[in-house]
Every structure is written in structure tokens, then in C-alpha cells.
């Protein structure tokens, strides 16, 4: 059985901390480097429900995409919700490790997993990492569809193939428009509109899109039409957990570690319900028709 320090060294080769944004907090949050690791759980969010799941599973290591603490804290007392997570993990000898923007920028990374879930072919990063001479790392991905789809069909495919959430998929654009190319970015993609425009794609799928950036993108007709698909933040990043688990399994096989690697299927998107408007527009009607059982 490997020690935690050996596993985190392997994780550092998959998602080097040097790729993380300056404001980010990645790496090991809790855990004894000398502790042995047999069972690993991947999840998007280090919330209490996931900590409890890790304990129940008998995991020695929980690896999440989102940081537990992004800013400094002066307490991990168990009467704070984050402190309670820390207590739960430490009491049960579960280490916590975070791969956030370093996993976004890695090759393969979060948006590769999102593209894979959607069944579109990655062509290049949307925002290449200037320090990468191969041009393969970076934020978001520019992708091609194997065959053109209408925006209606693409939205249906996204609703079908991304993990089910209360939100589903919100759509902005002409449902009959032909989509051949799409930019995807796991997590909040609001800040990437200029890069999406510059890439010349027909559509952009991301999460957490706000009113004004979407409205401006829709009004900016001189830049040409751009269809927008807004999925739940969790749903755009969960596919990475499966990719990351398979990467760690490959390392485990290579090293002869025999790790047991699991992926949490608990939906930790904070939105828990969705009420369609009483008088559906074409888009809300599409949302209703695109609702399918979780994969």
C-alpha cells in the first residue's frame, strides 16, 4: 500500500500545482503524509455529505475539485460547517486533497472530460497556457462535432449526457441554428466570452452564466450569432471525477499499488429544484422535453 505522500506525488504529476491560478488553494488540505492509502474517493465538492460518504466508504483519501478553504481561516472548530468537515475527516483518518484550477489547465483536464461527456472532439485549448510549448494545456476547450446538430439537438444531447441536476440546461439562441463547433469550459465560464468570440465557434457551453454577459453576447450581432448553453456548475465538472479516477487507477496499476478508486455520484449542486414557468416559451418547452433520467 502506498503512503499518502507517494500518492500526492503522483497527483502532482497529473495536476502540477504550478498550473493553478495565483488565488487558488490546491494540494493536500488534511492528512498524514506517512499514512497508508488503499481507498480513494473523488468528488466535486468537499461538503459534509461527501465527507460522510468518504467515512462510510472507508476511504483513506478524498480528492475534490473545489477547495475547502479558498481564503485563510482562524478556526477549524466543529461548530463551523467547514471545521466540521475537517473534524469528520481527521477523526476517521481521511486525507483531503484538492485539484482545482491546476486540473482545469492540465492536459487532459476538466474541460476535456466535459467534452468527452458531450461526445465532441477537442481541437485545442480555448485559452492556451503561454508557458506550454506544446499548446495543449489551458482553460476551456474548442471542439468540433462529428456531424452538425441544431442547437435544439445539441441542448437535448447535453441534457441527456451530462449528469442530471435540478437546473438542467438553459439555452440562449435560435434553436434551429446549425452547430458545428463548440467551446466548452467546466465551471463558471463568464469571463471567457472574448476568447469564445475570438475562437469563432458556433456555441459555448459552460456554467453560471449571468444576465448581462449573456445579454451582451446576444445583442452583439456584429460578432455573429453565438448560441449559449448554461449547465449546472456541478454537472460541468463531475465528468472530471471519472477521468481523474481513471488516471489515478492507471498510476496505481503502473506502480503496483492496488488502490480502490471510487467516484461519488452524490449530486452536490446547491440548486435542488426547478419550477418551469406556467406559460412555456419555446426554450422552456425544450427543457421539459429534454428531461431524462440520470445517466
Which of the ranges 17-25, 132-140, 232-240, 277-285 carries the binding residues for Zn ion, by CB under 5 A?
232-240
Q: Which is nearer to Zn ion, 67 or 173 (CB)?
A: 67
For the CB of residue 36, give the shortest distance to Zn ion in the complex, in Å.
30
Reply yes or no: is the peptide bond before residue 171 cis, omega within 30 of 0.
no
Fill in the per-residue mask, 235 to 264: x = in contact with Zn ion (CB under 5 A), - = not in contact: --x---------------------------
Q: Which is nearer to Zn ion, 168 or 187 (CB)?
A: 187
Q: Which is nearer to Zn ion, 238 or 257 (CB)?
A: 238
Taking phi over 0 as left and psi of -120 to 50 as alpha, with beta for the rest, 27 belongs to left
In whole angstroms, what is the distance from residue 102 CA to residue 109 CA?
A: 8
Q: How many residues does the chain have?
A: 295
CA atoms within 13 A on the CB side of 64: 26
For the CB of residue 105, give the shortest distance to Zn ion in the complex, in Å.
13
Q: Which residue is nearest to Zn ion (CB)?
A: 187
For the CB of residue 45, give the shortest distance to Zn ion in the complex, in Å.
9
For the CB of residue 32, give the shortest distance to Zn ion in the complex, in Å.
28
For the CB of residue 51, give the shortest distance to Zn ion in the complex, in Å.
18
- The three-class DSSP label of residue 127 is strand
For the CB of residue 22, give the shortest distance to Zn ion in the complex, in Å.
17
Which of the ranges 52-60, 150-158, 229-237, 270-278 carries the binding residues for Zn ion, by CB under 5 A?
229-237
CB 248 within 8 A of CB 260: no
Q: Which is nearer to Zn ion, 98 or 149 (CB)?
A: 98
* φ, ψ at 107 (rounded to 5°): -125, 110
Is 187 among the residues that bind Zn ion (CB under 5 A)?
A: yes
Write down the residue that cell numbers 469528520 correspond to.
Answer: 88
User: How far lies 234's CA from each of 63, 203, 266, 288, in Å?
Assistant: 15, 20, 10, 20
Q: Which is nearer to Zn ion, 7 or 207 (CB)?
A: 207
Per DSSP, the chain holds a count of helices (H) and strands (E) of 10, 11
For the CB of residue 86, give the shortest distance to Zn ion in the complex, in Å.
21
Which of the ranges 26-34, 77-85, 152-160, 181-189 carries the binding residues for Zn ion, by CB under 5 A?
181-189
In whole angstroms, what is the distance from residue 232 CA to residue 254 CA?
A: 35
User: If 0-12 CB within 10 Å is exposed, 13-18 middle and 19+ buried, where does residue 49 land?
Assistant: middle
Q: Which three cell numbers stand for residue 24?
A: 487558488
Q: Which is nearer to Zn ion, 103 or 151 (CB)?
A: 103
Is 125 among the residues that bind Zn ion (CB under 5 A)?
A: no
Please count the residues of this chain forming the interface with Zn ion, following the rule CB under 5 A. Answer: 2
Catalog residues that contact Zn ion under the rule CB under 5 A: 187, 237
Amino acid at each position: 500500500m502506498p503512503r499518502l505522500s507517494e500518492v500526492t506525488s503522483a497527483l502532482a504529476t497529473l495536476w502540477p500545482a504550478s498550473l493553478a491560478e495565483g488565488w487558488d488553494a490546491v494540494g493536500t488540505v488534511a492528512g498524514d503524509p506517512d499514512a497508508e492509502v488503499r481507498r480513494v474517493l473523488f468528488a466535486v465538492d468537499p461538503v459534509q455529505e461527501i465527507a460522510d460518504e468518504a467515512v462510510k466508504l472507508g476511504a483513506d483519501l478524498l480528492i475534490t475539485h473545489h477547495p475547502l478553504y479558498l481564503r485563510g481561516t482562524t478556526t477549524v472548530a466543529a461548530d463551523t460547517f467547514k471545521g466540521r468537515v475537517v473534524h469528520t475527516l481527521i477523526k476517521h483518518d481521511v486525507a483531503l486533497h484538492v485539484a482545482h484550477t491546476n486540473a482545469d489547465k492540465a492536459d487532459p483536464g476538466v474541460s476535456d472530460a466535459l467534452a468527452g461527456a458531450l461526445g465532441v472532439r477537442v481541437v485545442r485549448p480555448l485559452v492556451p497556457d503561454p508557458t506550454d510549448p506544446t499548446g495543449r494545456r489551458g482553460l476551456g476547450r474548442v471542439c468540433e462535432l462529428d456531424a452538425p446538430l441544431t442547437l435544439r439537438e445539441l441542448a437535448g444531447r447535453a441534457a441527456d449526457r451530462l449528469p442530471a441536476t435540478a437546473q438542467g440546461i438553459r439555452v440562449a439562441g435560435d434553436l434551429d441554428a446549425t452547430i458545428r463547433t463548440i467551446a466548452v469550459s467546466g465551471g463558471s465560464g463568464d469571463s471567457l466570452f472574448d476568447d469564445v468570440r475570438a475562437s469563432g465557434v458556433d456555441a459555448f457551453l459552460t456554467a453560471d452564466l449571468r444576465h448581462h454577459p449573456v445579454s451582451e453576447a446576444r445583442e452583439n450581432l456584429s460578432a455573429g450569432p453565438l448560441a449559449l448553453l448554461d449547465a449546472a456548475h456541478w454537472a460541468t465538472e463531475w465528468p472530471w471525477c471519472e477521468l481523474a479516477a481513471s488516471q489515478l487507477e492507471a498510476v496505481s496499476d503502473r506502480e503496483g499499488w492496488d488502490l480502490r478508486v471510487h467516484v461519488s455520484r452524490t449530486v452536490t449542486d446547491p440548486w435542488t429544484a426547478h419550477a418551469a414557468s406556467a406559460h412555456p416559451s419555446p426554450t422552456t418547452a425544450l427543457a421539459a422535453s429534454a428531461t431524462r433520467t440520470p445517466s
